Each structure stands twice: as structure tokens, then as C-alpha cells.
Structure 1
Amino acid sequence: MEETKEVVKTDKFGDVTVYVSGDRKLRVFLTVHDIGQNHKSFHQFLLHEDMKAILSKFCIVQITVPGQEEGAETLPNDYKFPTMQEMGTEVIPQVLAALGCKSKDVVGLGVGAGANILCRYAMVSAYDVLGLCLLECSAESAGFLEWGQEKIASLQLNMKGMNPTSESYLIWHHYGNAKHQKLKEVHAFHDNLYKTMNPHNLACFVETYMARTNFMDKLKTMKCRVLMVTGSRSAHVKDVEKTYTAMDRQNSEILKLDGGDVMDDNPEKLAESMLFFLQGLGLVASVVSRKMSRGSSFSRDSL
């Protein structure tokens, strides 16, 4: 996937790194990542055969939360890190405007903290967003146990840099039940944390997510269609289910797939579900899933 790196200067939060692929005259497919990650966490899934066919119809815009890009310099001590609300209501609109992309009819894909940010964006840009696919999304503020885990993780990151305590929390956050974690993916995640992530900047993002505000009572104001997704072994199943119950059932649906990190563990089913979700929005009507293509392969080959 060829992408162009863009650096957008925002009014309050300095430079924001964005990666853009495709024709900017097309509808925007917008991604926002989770804590402990950056835009590269989407790459393997977006390169899935079914997703490549879908994304050919979009301009892909991947926002990296400030300071989370690979090899990022340490943010200054006086830097005001954006809140979750500011990321959704100020940073995203400024980025899309600066890129000159077609900002109407946006489709979003977010994970964890990124999903929370996209919800906030959709609520203030109601007529710009067609649909959101939200993985492991919680609209509540952090509970006491989660707050404590995140606080310890952020303190350790600032005091020691990347360390086993913070790493263990982030692995649990992304992969859930330790007994079922895929060693290959966990090792890759471990390497990314220690080799490419700036621990001070990551601590800022963790603290911001820890301080997120509750917007459960505002979910019914969302006008776009929403596909909520969680993994059967995810650490966030109950949070996702609770968030879904507060949504308008006419505009939302929930999907539980096998695995902890569903983009890694169940990419084909997630891609197929996204295809049907987008077709329900009146988009990508000409795209056929590989499963359906295989079912009709005999008739095509015999022509």
C-alpha cells in the first residue's frame, strides 16, 4: 500500500503526522489507532484481499496521535497533549481540511482509544460521517481498576522508559486472555514497544485515555451507522456490550468474533463484515467478497 506522509500543523497541538493513500477526491476511509500503537497497526488488515478491494473506492487517511509515530522525538515538557475530546472535535477536522480531502461521507475504523476518538468526531461532525466500524470501543470513563492499571503503566513509562510492567498492561489491553495470545503477534508488539515507541509520549497518550470522559448518554445522538466489534477473548467485551446497549438500535449493530485482537485473529471475517456493513450504507456495491467469488469460480472458469 503506497502512502504519502503528511505533517499537518494544528492550531493548538503542533504537528500531527498523517499517512494518505489514494485519490483525495474520493470518500475518506479514516483510521485512528489505540494506545501502544500507531497507524502501522492497521497495515496487515488493510492489505487483506477483501479490504484492498474495498479500499480502492476510498482515499485512506491514517492519523497518528501526536508523538506516537515510529522514532518520534520526545514531546516538550510544556506540550499540552490533546484530550480525547480535542482529538475528535479539533484535530481530526483540522487534519482533513488541511489535506484537502473530500471530508463529506467519511467512513471510520478505530480501535480502543482510536474508536473512542472517532465517536467524538462523529458526534460533532454528524453530517460528515456515514459510518464507523469501532473495535473494542468503550464510551465510559475508566473504572477504578482500569484507572489504576493505566496510572501505574504511565508512571513506569515516565520513570523507567519501556518496562515489563507497562508492557504487560499493554499486551493485556490489546490481546486479552494471556492463555490464547499468539506468540508471533505478541513478539512483534513487544519489539515495537521497545524499539520504536517513545515511552514519554506513550505515557502521555495512556494518561489521556485514562482521563477520558463518559459520553454514554450522548450515544443516541450519533446519526451515522455504527458497527461495534469485539473479540471473544478480548479484555473489553463487557465494555463494548455496555456501550452498544446505549446506542440507537436502528443505527447500530454488534459483532463478536473469535480471538483477542480481531484484526490479527479473524481478518477475513472482519473484512467480510465490513464489506456488508459498507454495502448497507450504499457503498462499494461492485465489490464481491472472496468467499462469494470462490463460490462462483467454476462458472467463470468454464466460460
Structure 2
Amino acid sequence: VHIITMNIVTDPKSTLPLSLCEYGLRTHEHSIETPHGLLHVTLHGTSNTRRPAILTFHDVGLDSKSCFSPLFKFEEMQEIVKNFTLVHIDAPGQEEGAATYPMGYAYHVCACVCLCALGFRSVIGVGVGAGAYILSRFTMIHPDSVEGLVLVNIDPQARGWMDWAAQKITTLTSSLTEQILSHLFSQEEMSANADLVKSHRDRISKAPNLINIELFWRGYNSRRDLILDRTSNFKCPVMLVVGDQAPYEEAAVECNSKLDPTTTSFLKPSKLTEAFKYFIQGMGYMASSVMTRLSRSRTTSLSSSYSMEGERERSRTLSQSSQGGQMPPSPSHTMEVSC
């Protein structure tokens, strides 16, 4: 996946476009020109730019709507929506109604969101799968632009020779749709969520921009290693989220092992949404928000479960806090989310 840094010269005191201020909490869409085509961006939430924007990046086979709408429409997320501007990026050619790229098109992913053009100096990144990798790479290149990262089902490793050979065989025996479904779901999840898997299969196989999806998929599979070690980690707090049966569970756990253990905390909050609020509070925002369970429970073994439409039945959350973060002390330094 090629990460393109865009140098845009604007007034540092610039604010959000007037149209967004007028729309308030309503959704507003932008198409931003880049050297590699249009970048589709959807904004909603507050128009206050004194706080970082929450920037999302979706996985392969999804777009920003199908990936993040269930989460940010969830009732308990509305407090965050009312306090932050959400910036949803669609990878080039992945949004609804996108024009189909010609054969042989050189596909690039633009991870720089034109923060100055939109009036933001920093963001809190939320990425899933390929989006988690892209935002991680962006954070390494622009550490001062990212205040925090939430990485869901991240695989920081490049494809090895065994993976490459397996991918070649899979390409010969499986359709693009089935390859992407195997990326999104494990075999256990496919068996347990037949209706959800069918809806994704139908949507991907019938997508008019299937060529664009294939280009994104190929680009992700040619990614390079994220160079992580305990002495040169992300400068910002990081929360890792991975499903217990997700295809990349081991990869996410391996990623966590490379983070500095002295700045890593694990918890068992009741909900992913509340864990997200807690993560934001640790960066000094939403201090008055009521954290019903996380703030009250600091024992070594906190456990609960929940279900959310379109989400995995269980997930494990690993959270890294920067030295400047305000995470409350925990005797076990263990964080796990059951959902």
C-alpha cells in the first residue's frame, strides 16, 4: 500500500469549511483532489476544531459507511459524536458510486487527510484491518499529527514466502470475494454468522467497483513490515482491539508484544464503546463524561459481555497509554474487553 504525503499550504488559523459549520451534526461530504485521484471524505459531528478530529479508515471489502456506521450510530457513542468531528475516509475508488479504474491502474492510498485544509491540526485515528495498517504507517511518518490510535484487527507484518505461496494458491482456487471474506472472518465466525457473511458476500460480489476493490486488496497484500520495537514505539496512546476468533488475533497479539510493556495497560470494560470513551479521557478530553463501570472498577479481574449489531461476539482490547496519558493505575496492568 503506497502512503502518499500531501503537502497542502493553507493558513494555520483556518477553520472548517463554512458548509460544515452550517450543517452542525448533519453529514457533509467532500471530494478532495490528490495527485492520484479524488479522495472521498465524509464529516459529521461537532464543528469545534479545538479538539482533534476522530479520523476513521476502513478495511478492504468495506467502505466508511459499511465499516463504521453501526459503531457510531450506537446510542452510547452519541456523546462522542456530539463532542468531536468525525472524519471518515474512503480509500480511493471504494466509496459508493466510485468510477471504475482502468486495467493496469497504479493504485495508491492517500493516508494524509489534508488536515490543514479541513482545519484540524491533529486527529485520533480509528482503523480496521487494512485501515489500521495505513493509519499506523501514517502515524509513524507524522507523529505530531496523531494524538491517539485505535487499531482493530491489525496485522503489522508483511507477507512472508509461505503466505505468498498460500495466497497464490488461493488466488487460483478462490474468487476475489471469498479471499476478502477470509480476510474479514475466520472459519468459526463464518459458521456462527451465516447471515452477516452472506450479506457481505452479496455486497462485494455485486459491487460495480469490484476492480477497485481488487486493486486495494492487492496493494494491502504487498505491504511492508511496520517496524515496531520497545524502544521506538508510537509516541501517542494506542488501543489494540482484536476478536477472539478473528483471522488476525495472533498478529495483533504479536504487535502488542512489541509495544513498551511499561506503558501498556489491559482492562476488562463492559463495552467497546465505553472503552473508547475511557481511551479518549486518558488523553485529557471529555473529563466530565460519566464512566459507569470503567472508572469504578480497578480490580485485577473485570469481565462482562455485550453484543452489537454487525459486530463480533467477543473481542480482546489491548491498550497502550503514552507516558503523558492519564490512565488510572491498575494493579495488574491488564486490559481485556469481552464483547
TM-score band, normalised by shorter chain: 0.7 to 0.9
Per the alignment, do residues 155 and 81 of structure 1 end up closer, same or farther by CA in structure 2, a change over 3 Å counting? Answer: farther
The one-letter code matched in structure 1 to 2:29 is K
The one-letter code matched in structure 2 to 1:111 is V
Quote the sequence identity (%): 29
Task: Give the alignment of 1:242-253 within 5 angstroms.
Answer: 242-253=254-265
Q: Residue 254 of structure 2 aligns to a residue in which SS?
A: helix
Residue 43 of structure 1 pairs with residue 66 of structure 2: no
Decide whether the 8 Å contact of 1:132 with 1:225 is kept in 2.
yes
Provide Cα deviations, 1:237-269, integer angstroms capped at 9, x if missing partner: 110011111122344456799xxxxxxxxxx72
- Residue 144 of structure 1: CA displacement? 3.8
Partner of 1:295: none
Task: Give the alignment of 1:279-298 within 5 angstroms.
Answer: 279-289=281-291
Q: Residue 36 of structure 1 aligns to a residue in which SS?
A: coil
Q: Residue 102 of structure 1 aligns to a residue in which SS?
A: coil
Partner of 2:33: 9
Structure 2: gaps spanning 5 or more residues: 1-24, 295-339
Per the alignment, do residues 66 and 151 of structure 1 end up closer, same or farther by CA in structure 2, a change over 3 Å counting? Answer: farther
How large is the Cα RMSD of the aligned pairs? 2.7
Match among 28, 33, 53 for residue 28 of structure 1 = 53
Residue 97 of structure 1 pairs with residue 116 of structure 2: yes
Per the alignment, do residues 52 and 184 of structure 1 end up closer, same or farther by CA in structure 2, a change over 3 Å counting? Answer: farther
Partner of 1:56: 82
- Residue 48 of structure 1: CA displacement? 1.0
Q: Residue 93 of structure 1 aligns to a residue in which SS?
A: coil
Per the alignment, do residues 145 and 56 of structure 1 end up closer, same or farther by CA in structure 2, a change over 3 Å counting? Answer: farther
Between the aligned partners of 1:62 and 1:154, the Cα distance in structure 2 is 30
Between the aligned partners of 1:176 and 1:286, the Cα distance in structure 2 is 39
Q: Residue 127 of structure 1 aligns to a residue in which SS?
A: helix
Structure 1: gaps spanning 5 or more residues: 157-163, 258-267, 293-303
- Residue 79 of structure 1: CA displacement? 3.2
Decide whether the 8 Å contact of 2:57 with 2:90 is kept in 1.
yes
The one-letter code matched in structure 2 to 1:29 is I
Provide Cα deviations, 1:172-205, integer angstroms capped at 9, x if missing partner: 2112133543123212212321333511111111
Between the aligned partners of 2:247 and 2:277, the Cα distance in structure 1 is 26
Decide whether the 8 Å contact of 1:141 with 1:212 is kept in 2.
yes
Counting matched residue pairs gives 266
Match among 133, 148, 166 for residue 150 of structure 2 = 133
Deviates most, 136-145 or 28-37: 136-145
Between the aligned partners of 2:259 and 2:248, the Cα distance in structure 1 is 17
Task: Give the alignment of 1:172-251 within 5 angstroms.
Answer: 172-178=182-188, 180-196=191-207, 198-217=209-228, 220-251=232-263
- Residue 289 of structure 1: CA displacement? 4.8
Per the alignment, do residues 29 and 80 of structure 1 end up closer, same or farther by CA in structure 2, a change over 3 Å counting? Answer: same
Partner of 2:21: none
Partner of 1:296: none
Task: Give the alignment of 1:238-277 within 5 angstroms.
Answer: 238-253=250-265, 269-277=271-279
- Residue 150 of structure 1: CA displacement? 4.7
Q: Which has the higher contact order (CA 8 A, sep 6+)?
A: 1
- Residue 50 of structure 1: CA displacement? 1.8
> TM-score when scaled to structure 2?
0.70
Partner of 1:76: 102
Deviates most, 19-28 or 214-223: 214-223
Between the aligned partners of 1:28 and 1:246, the Cα distance in structure 2 is 27
Between the aligned partners of 1:228 and 1:120, the Cα distance in structure 2 is 15
Per the alignment, do residues 253 and 66 of structure 1 end up closer, same or farther by CA in structure 2, a change over 3 Å counting? Answer: farther
Per the alignment, do residues 167 and 209 of structure 1 end up closer, same or farther by CA in structure 2, a change over 3 Å counting? Answer: same
> TM-score when scaled to structure 1?
0.78
The one-letter code matched in structure 2 to 1:223 is K
Between the aligned partners of 1:197 and 1:189, the Cα distance in structure 2 is 14
The one-letter code matched in structure 2 to 1:54 is I
Q: Residue 97 of structure 1 aligns to a residue in which SS?
A: helix
Decide whether the 8 Å contact of 1:126 with 1:223 is kept in 2.
yes
Per the alignment, do residues 204 and 152 of structure 1 end up closer, same or farther by CA in structure 2, a change over 3 Å counting? Answer: farther
